[in-house]
Amino acid sequence: MHSKTRDVESASGAALEAAMKLCGRIGGRVMLFASSLPSLGQGRLSNRENVRLLGSDREHTMLTPATDYFQKVAAKVTRYQIAVDVYLFADQYIDVATLNDLSKYSGGQLNYYAGYESKTQGVKFQKELTRALTRTQGWEAVVRVRCSHGVVPSRFYGNFFLRGPDLLALPALDCDKAFTAVLRNDDSVLSVPYVTIQSALLYTSSEGERRIRVINQALPVTQSLSDMFAATNVNAMTNVIAKQAHEVVLTQGLAKARESVRQKCVAIIRTYRSALMHGRTAATDAALNTLPLMMMGLMKNAAFRDGTDVRVDVRASALAHLATMGIVEMETFFRPRLLPVTDCKDEVGLPVETQRVKGSVVLPQEIGLSSDQLRSDGVYLADNGFAFVLRIGRRVSQEWLRDVFGVESLDQIDLQNPTLRACAEGETSQAARLQNILAYLRQVSPHYQQLQVVLEGSPDEMAFFYMLIEDRQSSAPSLAEFNAYIARAGPSPNHDY
């Protein structure tokens, strides 16, 4: 309709008002696609990106919404049982932090494609849009969490509209979003042996059936540190700490958020190790030993990382995704997989029969997220659930290049749009095994990981090194340094790593 227009203004607010009038009687899902900052009419925004604030104690002011207009729109569409998904395609500032309110308060989702080009990101967009349109949906949902006497829900995290102290309104519901509830003990000492928790979800299926799903849990109450630490789930703990840190970012800044993460990690680990020394928990219970690594991944993630290299929209997008992540997705987001794929032998990279996940393959053995693991004649795949980074060493064999990319030298690889050699069905070559691994990892992720190829020694290699969370990165310590810090006196806001 407007292919020949010369008007470059964007009237997103008016488009949303029109969509509400169209869908208000039946509800459903509205998808907003935008490639520039809303600049006309309701919800008009201005460019507030200031590169001089990056890395400063005022950076968080650009991560908070510039206006409450979109939050009010989200509250309004929620009454009409409409969820809003936001798809942003921009090579310039588009104020992700403000536009995310549409999804945040309506149960929708945000997808941001920085520097979008259809040649390089078109497949990613197509795959993610297809998933959003074809996955199983629930509609007109409400969630309530109830607890037995002495325990109450104190905080909820996720994309929803909070109608009451314990009632979440969700115009649309799907499997790619999680909700986190923090429970508070209202009694100084619980005298009962169990605390019971119930979550009840009432929703309408796409076939028009009104359904209710109820989950009941009875959790034992203990005064024993041994029992408490034995029942600890590090990934669930990381999920809560990350979402609490997200709140701190918006109110106090990134530095305060990282410091709160450090202090919580130190307090937990020192209590745990003190219990070990006094014989109050089993020495074999080593689950919490992975907590420092997860905290390193959290602080070095684009959502919280120190420095001036993360653009405001990129950081705001990472924080938006963080709000709806479950424990499995967040584990990969903070602690990426690092797989050596130079020479896949035996069953590695080949399909395996399993009832759990169709299309499963045998993955290579993961290695530590440290540059000490890298060799110049090796090829390594890093996966954080959002992107693949394939790092190729300068001394990789010509046979591998010919087999996987169909080229004779590194210089012949198209790094802007890397394409693996086509393989016949049932082939067991290195190319086929690598493609099987990529396909499987994409299958188990709610996002489509676009493949980026980087060469050893190239400037783009930093995208790979950012995933090596065990190494020192700018002002962030290495895992060994962080463990040494934990072993010392304890948390100090001014401690120099």
Averaged over 364-383, what is the pLDDT? 96
CA nearest to 171, candidates 99, 102, 84, 109: 84
CA angle 442, 123, 118 (to 5 degrees): 150
Taking the C-alpha atoms of residue 449 and residue 385, their distance in angstroms, rounded to an integer, is: 6
CA angle 75, 76, 80 (to 5 degrees): 115
Q: What is the pLDDT of residue 497?
A: 34
Residue 496's SS3 state is coil
- CA distance between the termini of the chain: 58
CA nearest to 142, candidates 168, 117, 160: 168
Averaged over 68-92, what is the pLDDT? 95
Strands (E) located in 186-233: 194-205, 210-220
Torsion of CA 113, 115, 118, 123, to 10 degrees: -40
Residue 481 has pLDDT above 80, yes or no: yes
Q: What is the pLDDT of residue 226?
A: 78
Q: What is the pLDDT of residue 490?
A: 47
CATH topology of domain 12-134: Rossmann fold (3.40.50)
Residue 12 has pLDDT above 90, yes or no: yes
Confidence of residue 356 (pLDDT cuts 50, 70, 90): low
- What is the percent of the chain where pLDDT is above 90? 80
pLDDT digits (tens, 9 = 90+) for 13-58: 999 999 999 999 999 999 999 999 999 999 999 999 999 999 999 9
CB atoms within 10 A of CB 43: 24
CA distances for 207 relative to 81, 140, 141, 174, angstroms: 16, 13, 14, 15
Taking the C-alpha atoms of residue 176 and residue 332, their distance in angstroms, rounded to an integer, is: 15
Averaged over 179-201, what is the pLDDT? 88
Confidence of residue 359 (pLDDT cuts 50, 70, 90): confident
Q: What is the pLDDT of residue 413?
A: 93
Residue 21's SS3 state is helix
Residue 489 has pLDDT above 70, yes or no: no
Q: What share of the chain is helix, strand, coil (3-state, %, to 5)?
A: 35, 20, 45
Helices (H) and strands (E) in the chain, counts: 14, 14
CATH topology of domain 138-221: Immunoglobulin-like (2.60.40)
Q: What is the pLDDT of residue 379?
A: 97
Confidence of residue 352 (pLDDT cuts 50, 70, 90): confident
Q: What is the pLDDT of residue 234?
A: 94
Confidence of residue 144 (pLDDT cuts 50, 70, 90): very high
Mean pLDDT for all residues in the chain: 91
Side chain identity at 38, as an amino acid letter? Answer: P
Highest mean pLDDT: which range of 278-292, 328-342, 423-437: 328-342
- Please report which helix (H) or strand (E) contains residue 316, including its range: helix 312-322
Q: What is the CATH number of domain 336-465?
A: 3.40.20.10
Residues ≥6 apart with Cβ < 8 Å to 398? 408, 409
Averaged over 457-485, what is the pLDDT? 93
Residues ≥6 apart with Cβ < 8 Å to 478? 470, 471, 472
Is 58 or 275 the better-scoring residue by pLDDT? 58
Strands (E) located in 299-356: 337-340
Residue 283 has pLDDT above 50, yes or no: no
Using the CB atoms, write b or e for 208-221: b if 16+ within 10 Å: eeeeeeeeeeeeee
pLDDT digits (tens, 9 = 90+) for 202-261: 999 999 999 999 999 999 988 888 788 888 899 999 999 999 999 999 999 999 999 999
Residue 286 has pLDDT above 70, yes or no: no
Residue 281 has pLDDT above 80, yes or no: no
User: How is the chain split into domains, by residue range?
Assistant: 12-134, 138-221, 230-332+476-487, 336-465
In the CATH scheme, what is the homologous superfamily, with its name and number, of domain 230-332+476-487? Answer: Sec23/Sec24 helical domain (1.20.120.730)
Q: What is the DSSP letter of 224?
A: -
Q: What is the pLDDT of residue 139?
A: 96
Averaged over 344-359, what is the pLDDT? 81
Is 490 or 480 the better-scoring residue by pLDDT? 480
CA nearest to 34, candidates 135, 118, 110, 108: 110
Tokens of 269: 């680990």
Residue 494 has pLDDT above 80, yes or no: no
Confidence of residue 128 (pLDDT cuts 50, 70, 90): very high
CA nearest to 380, candidates 480, 477, 467: 467
Q: What is the pLDDT of residue 166?
A: 87
Helical H segments across 137-203, by residue range: none
Token pair 């809560």: residue: 240
Residues 362 and 348 sit within 8 Å (Cβ to Cβ): yes
pLDDT digits (tens, 9 = 90+) for 289-333: 899 999 999 999 999 999 999 999 999 999 999 999 999 999 999
